[in-house]
A = this chain, B = another copy of it.
Amino acid sequence: MSKLRFTITMSLDGFVAGPNQSEQDPLGVGGMELHQWLFPLKAFRELHGEEGGEVSASTPVVEEWFENIGASVMGRNMFGGGPGPWGENPWNGWWGEEPPFRHPVYVLTHHAREPLELTGTTFHFVTDGIESALEQAKEAAGGKDVALGGGADVAQQYLAAGLVDEMEISVVPLFLGGGARLFDNLGEGKPALEQVRAVEGSGVTHLKYRVRSA
């Protein structure tokens, strides 16, 4: 059965973005440090069309993130652009002309917009809630899994609704001291977790869990 899977990098003190996030600085103060373990990896560089890079214990973990994924769901901030209506010539987001997804992406927003077709990836804008977005993504995934892109608020909404099946948290040795806390607002029906595996990387540890609604 098609699963909703989610992978994210978190500081040891629980943040997935630093303080003072803004449209210009979506990762907040110090937030870019979260991802320093990822950038040198061959598995990451390939995905962005770059050559070379390192192979490490994190390599099979990162490769697995993208295996058997047929569609993605993400929040509007992760697509790109701030809140509010899209305007007449809406921005096409952070991801450039050839986004790395190469499958349909469902963007949660309060403001309707026609689908945006870029090379290899079409963004669909969903205004009727997280369950509708997941349903459309599963339909589009054709039996494959759906990746939940983030950010923290979107992950929290899906976790609180008991809709996440699997997640991998990459914990980095870093204190951000503030910003977007990943595991917040989980509500009363906190999901139950089962540890699947832990992988020690270089400057990161990957913790994988199965999630069950409470």
Contact = CB atoms under 8 A, between A and B. Distances in A.
Interface of A: 12-14, 169, 171-177, 183-184, 186, 188, 190-191, 193-195, 197-200, 203-205, 207, 209
Contact of A13 (B174, B186, B188): B186
A200 B196 CA distance: 10
Q: How many copies does the complex hold?
A: 2
A183 B175 contact: yes
24 contacts: A12-B209, A13-B14, A13-B183, A13-B184, A14-B14, A14-B183, A172-B195, A173-B193, A173-B194, A174-B193, A175-B183, A175-B190, A175-B193, A177-B188, A195-B203, A195-B204, A195-B205, A197-B200, A198-B198, A198-B199, A198-B200, A199-B200, A205-B205, A205-B207
B190 A173 contact: no
Given A12-B193, A14-B14, A183-B14, A173 B204 contact: no
A179 B177 CA distance: 18
* Cβ-closest 5 pairs across A and B: A13-B183, A173-B193, A198-B200, A198-B205, A175-B190
A191 B177 CA distance: 10
Contacts of A173: 193-195, 209
Q: Of residues A195, A200, A204, A207, which shows the largest number of chain B Cβ atoms within 10 Å of its Cβ?
A: A195
A187 to B, nearest CB: 8
